[in-house]
Amino acid sequence: MINADRLKQTFFELVKYDTGSDPEATSTPSTSKQLVLAKVLVEKLKTLGLLNVSLNEYGIVSGTLPANTKNKIKIGFIAHMDTSPDVATGPVKPQSHDYKRGDITLKNNVIITAEDLKKYKNHTILTSDGTTLLGADDKAGVAEILEMLQILKDNPSIKHPELKIAFTPDEEVGRGTENFDIKAFGADIAYTVDGSAPTDIDTETFNAFNPQITITGIPVHTGYAYHKMVSAIEIANQLMNELPVDETPAQTKDKEGYFHVLTISGSPEKVKMDMLVRDFNYSKAQKRIAFLHSICEDLERRYPKAEIEIKDNEKYHNMNEKFAAFPEMIELTKQAVKMTGLKPKETFVRGGTDGAELTLRGLLTPNLGAGGENFHALNEFVSLEVMTQCTQNLLNIIQVWNEQALQLTAKIKNISPCR
């Protein structure tokens, strides 16, 4: 039922819009070019028969596909429109390769290695021309949701509950959900379609804090500094020396947590440090924060004339604690992936997902694979066959919930943020 050719055409159409987001911008969305695609998506959703289609002041596109069954559950599907500004974002010139073997070499000697491609023999591999990223992250997700809606439109005999669709800006700059109104969206449960492999269901993320430390010293002319100057830079250096050298992003993997100094700027008078503190275990994450506080307190004792201020800035929680309240959500999602003929895998992400923030705010939102590989790089690619599987997952998810949600009505009422 999935039309791979149409899926590819939709994907190519989407990636041609340069929707790079901007981490420096304070506007919402961070770049106005995202709105160009947003308006195109509004028209597409209307054509696909969705109701209440809107583009709101924050650049979020949303719409509702009414149910054609009695089933009362409302399922959300979310993908982000923006692409990573880590490398050139456009204009994207997408290419299609009938892959047999070896490397794929793009312009400027950008290479997708045979190692990267070993799972993809005889697949249709979609890439950029090598001068920009492709933007499969996350336009593969957007295209798959659109293909799913097209199939539901063309086949009214497929029964489905009410579907809530949203396309969001600025995920890549960490602002994907800051203006996302869960109540207005109106879904009981949701999925972000923003992962990699079609087998993967991301149910775990770090517990994340972004501490901000401000050190205020006493600046004095260096010629007269003896026993007078208190250098904030020196204190910052001492602080960094106290951090465990084997607990950094470069020295940890799997479910190991870390400390990371992200930016440091300033002068002897004032230094600002932005840090990342990550741990899959919440109490361990809190212990890491307490450790940072103890370092700062110790430094204040050693430098009594300096001031050290620390803000914890909690960002998101490991989602898996929230799923414990409704394990059926993950079980049914696994069933859907199995129906595609795949072996589902509960996976963890060493980072956040928009779903992690939504889950923390009450909307259970695991992340599904959208197919892409080599994210945020010029050699990003996606297999069309895998995109087809990801789309099949979405259709199966709808079917599974349609068949089983009625028996779970009481539980769904309990966990839903909008009832």
Q: How far is the CB of 387 from Zn ion (least distance, A)?
A: 15
Q: How far is the CB of 379 from Zn ion (least distance, A)?
A: 17
Nearer to Zn ion, 21 or 127 (CB): 21
Part in contact with Zn ion (CB under 5 A); list of ranges 129-137, 236-244, 286-294, 317-325 = 129-137
CA distances from 391 to 128, 143, 155, 353, 394 (A): 22, 9, 15, 20, 5
Closest CA to 371 of 158, 186, 112, 195: 195
Alpha-carbon distance of 261 to 281, in angstroms, equals 20
Closest CA to 210 of 268, 321, 288: 288
Q: How many CB atoms lie within 10 A of CB 305?
A: 11
Which helix H or strand E contains 266, and what residues bound it? strand 258-266
Q: How far is the CB of 202 from Zn ion (least distance, A)?
A: 11
Question: From the list 18, 22, 82, 138, which residue makes contact with Zn ion (rule: CB under 5 A)?
Answer: 138
Nearer to Zn ion, 50 or 133 (CB): 133
Q: How far is the CB of 29 from Zn ion (least distance, A)?
A: 15
Count residues near Zn ion (CB under 5 A).
3
* Residue 82 binds Zn ion, judged by CB under 5 A: no
Site string for Zn ion, 143-182 (x = CB under 5 A): ----------------------------------------
Nearer to Zn ion, 147 or 194 (CB): 194
CA distances from 296 to 134, 216, 258, 274, 367 (A): 44, 12, 18, 14, 37
Q: Indicate if 171 belongs to the active site.
A: yes
Q: How far is the CB of 114 from Zn ion (least distance, A)?
A: 26
For residue 242, which phi and psi values (nearest 5 degrees)?
A: -80, -15
Question: From the list 144, 194, 204, 380, which residue makes contact with Zn ion (rule: CB under 5 A)?
Answer: 194
Part in contact with Zn ion (CB under 5 A); list of ranges 157-165, 187-195, 248-256, 379-387 = 187-195
Q: How far is the CB of 138 from Zn ion (least distance, A)?
A: 4
Query: Judging by DSSP bridges, how do beta strands 258-266 and 270-279 pair with one another?
Result: antiparallel
DSSP 57: T
Q: How many CB atoms lie within 10 A of CB 301?
A: 8
In three-state secondary structure terms, 279 is: strand
Q: Indicate if 247 belongs to the active site.
A: no
Closest CA to 161 of 66, 64, 53: 66
Part in contact with Zn ion (CB under 5 A); list of ranges 61-69, 70-78, 138-146, 290-298 = 138-146
Nearer to Zn ion, 102 or 351 (CB): 351
Nearer to Zn ion, 217 or 372 (CB): 372
Alpha-carbon distance of 215 to 201, in angstroms, equals 42
Q: How far is the CB of 23 from Zn ion (least distance, A)?
A: 14
Q: Which of 171, 194, 204, 380 is catalytic?
A: 171
* Residue 357 binds Zn ion, judged by CB under 5 A: no
Which helix H or strand E contains 328, and what residues bound it? helix 328-339
* Residue 137 binds Zn ion, judged by CB under 5 A: yes
Alpha-carbon distance of 316 to 345, in angstroms, equals 23
Nearer to Zn ion, 165 or 235 (CB): 165
Part in contact with Zn ion (CB under 5 A); list of ranges 91-99, 133-141, 264-272, 361-369 = 133-141
CA angle in degrees (0–180, nearest 5) for 162-164-166:
165
Alpha-carbon distance of 1 to 399, in angstroms, equals 14
The catalytic site residues sit at: 82, 171
Question: Which positions lie near Zn ion, rule CB under 5 A?
Answer: 137-138, 194
